[in-house]
Amino acid sequence: MADYRTPKKDLLFALRTAGMIDELSSRERFAHADYETVAGVFEEHGRFFDEVWAPTNAPGDAEGLTWSEDGVTTPEVFKEAWAKYVEAGWQGMNLDPDYGGMGFPEVVYSLGAEAVIGSNAALSMLPGLTTGAVELLQHWGTEEQKERYLPKMISGEWSGTMNLTEPQAGSDVGLSTTRAVPQDDGSFLITGTKIFISFGEHDLTSNIIHLVLARTPDAPAGTRGISLFLVPKFLLDDDGNPGARNDVKCVSIEHKMGIHASPTCVLSYGDEGGAIGWLVGEENQGLNAMFTMMNAARLAVGVQGTGIAEAAYQKAVDYAAERVQGREIGSDEKGSVPIIRHPDVRRMLLSMRARIEATRNLTTHLAASIDMANSTEGEDSQGWDERVELLTPVAKAWCTDVGVEVTSTALQVFGGMGYIEESGVAQHFRDQRITPIYEGTNGIQAMDLVGRKLPIRAGAAFADLAKEMRRVLTELEGIDELAATRDSLAAAFDELDTATAWVMEHGLADPRDALAGATPYLELVGLTAGGWLMARQALAARREIEQGAADGKEYLEAKVTSARFFCEQLVPKVHALTPSITAGHGILYEVDAEALASS
């Protein structure tokens, strides 16, 4: 069975339909990123990850990692793959050209990242985290910090990490106890323990730049007293090269369900007196700075949900076309046929395909909205900023929940063979299952949506988005082929309005009511927004058919079909979600904790 194949046609279709690339490339900032240029980049980018990274995925998972007091050894096949990655210069796709980046829009990077993830989800976390660290330093770092660290991070010679979580704190960053004591030379001595640090220690880059949340001695309690520090694994010498080892070490790595080749580290700072670090941004404003990296990571995790799902889907389609079993119902043909000709297998495959396209459209639209916000001024910029705020938790949570569903369905297509490691699809399920958990669990994303994002401008920001989504109904009018799609979406929009009004009203009266229904509410928003973007996909595909587009009629007709399937067969689930959203918190507490624990 073939390794992963970058779905270049699908990525480019999403770029020109959900990614607003023509509008973005008309702006001075992204003038170099016209569609034809990006298509050429994607051709080479996809070839690289198909040929260089994809073959390392299964061997890397099988070999795993080795920890010792000297560090972490990654799978042998990763060494050459990473060296070729650095040589090719792919790390800097969306990063600042002043420090060696290519300066492409976020939407180009986001779509390209799907191929990085699909080819090797475990290894993809190294460049993904480094990109987030670079973006943070581009925004918050001093000029000296940028000059000293960004060029080598953008080249991929050095990597970056995000250090938030501590053993006693979990997701409650305000309980952080890591200390940062100021020194006379302007540096700080960092002491404390951080857990769940992806690629916190490894042997692929010559330095690791840790971004660490910590408290200064007189800092206020809670999140208001958190500052951010840059702590390199190796201190730099006078020439800017890695020199003496800093006082930070990996004391263990986690043994995980999936992403076996991605080291998840426990890092100890200051065992020998204190790791030397430097303040990034202002003191006590560290969480604001870290959100630059966290929000980038949340979009990236949403893309991860799609990328792993696509890899699993490819295996399922290949297997269904090859596996011969059973006669075809309704056919006079004698003998067994490939299972792809059976209705329920077709249902599973089309469901997977439609879900993947919907999640790809959502993360693409979100990434393009980031670009629009960054290249727009005044009130228009505010509108795009608000859309980014609203859709970030939805993209992270809904796209990863859907990703888990899709990879699980891929196993089902294989039947018993899917449960066997040799099939390869089991690894995708194991790798995928972390995505709803990290970068803020999906429950936290749902709480963020109803608690922080819905109240933006007293709900007016979400109302503007809902109004924008409804505009697609006018575009669908009079198209017989899409009449059922329009009806389904119209009903879903009504359901969304009803649920949103209930959450806004009851959340003000008792926040527990809004939080009790937050997760099904986020799913409702995801399904509805996904339906909106899939309807736009169908309309765009029809226009391209009329214009005789190069992708061909059959390919574009399939885009219409998957959009119809999503809107007509998957979006109606929203009607079953409203009772959970509007039930309130009462029933959740009718059984006390002791009774829940009893058998």
DSSP 170-234: TT-GGG---EEEE-TTS-EEEEEEEEEEETSS-SSSSEEEEEEEEB-TTPPSGGGG-EEEEEESE
Q: Is residue 1 predicted with pLDDT exceeding 80?
A: no
228, two tokens: 């951010």
Structural domain includes residue 553: yes
437, two tokens: 């958990």
- Report how far residue 374's alpha carbon sits from residue 369's, in angstroms, rounded to the nearest whole number: 9
* 476-498 mean pLDDT: 97
* Predicted confidence (pLDDT) per residue in 331-340, tens digit: 878 888 999 9
Longest CA–CA separation in the chain, Å:
87
What are the residues facing 191 on neighbouring strands? 179
* Predicted confidence (pLDDT) per residue in 262-272, tens digit: 999 999 999 99
Query: Which residue type occupies 465?
Result: L
* Residue-wise DSSP of 125-185: HHHHHHHHHHHHHHHHS-HHHHHHHHHHHHHTSEEEEEE---TTTTT-GGG---EEEE-TT
* Predicted confidence (pLDDT) per residue in 390-416, tens digit: 999 999 999 999 999 999 999 999 999
The confidence band for 170, taking pLDDT boundaries of 50, 70 and 90, is low
Q: Which domain holds residue 506?
A: 455-599
- Report how far residue 104's alpha carbon sits from residue 95's, in angstroms, rounded to the nearest whole number: 7
* Predicted confidence (pLDDT) per residue in 335-382, tens digit: 889 999 999 999 999 999 999 999 999 999 999 999 999 998 877 789
- Residues 464/384, Cβ–Cβ less than 8 Å: no
* Predicted confidence (pLDDT) per residue in 515-537, tens digit: 999 999 999 999 999 999 999 99
Residue 267 DSSP symbol:
E
Structural domain includes residue 182: no
The confidence band for 599, taking pLDDT boundaries of 50, 70 and 90, is low
Structural domain count of the chain: 1
pLDDT of residue 585: 94
**CA proximity to 392, closest of 459, 442, 431:** 442
pTM, 2 dp? 0.96
394, two tokens: 């939805």
Structural domain includes residue 425: no
Structural domain includes residue 463: yes
- Residues catalogued as catalytic: 439
With vertex at residue 378, the alpha carbon angle to CA 24 and CA 389, rounded to the nearest 5 degrees, is 70
Structural domain includes residue 341: no
Structural domain includes residue 432: no
Structural domain includes residue 312: no
- Beta carbons within 8 Å of 424's beta carbon, 6+ residues apart: 1, 58, 315
- Report how far residue 137's alpha carbon sits from residue 124's, in angstroms, rounded to the nearest whole number: 20
- Report how far residue 363's alpha carbon sits from residue 114's, in angstroms, rounded to the nearest whole number: 10
- Report how far residue 362's alpha carbon sits from residue 359's, in angstroms, rounded to the nearest whole number: 5
Q: Is residue 2 predicted with pLDDT exceeding 70?
A: no
Q: Is residue 80 predicted with pLDDT exceeding 60?
A: yes
325 or 252, which is more confident: 252
- Residues 159/199, Cβ–Cβ less than 8 Å: yes
* Predicted confidence (pLDDT) per residue in 564-593, tens digit: 999 999 999 999 999 999 999 999 988 888
- Residues 582/529, Cβ–Cβ less than 8 Å: no
419 or 175, which is more confident: 419
- Report how far residue 384's alpha carbon sits from residue 366's, in angstroms, rounded to the nearest whole number: 9
- Report how far residue 471's alpha carbon sits from residue 408's, in angstroms, rounded to the nearest whole number: 34
* 113-139 mean pLDDT: 97
Structural domain includes residue 547: yes
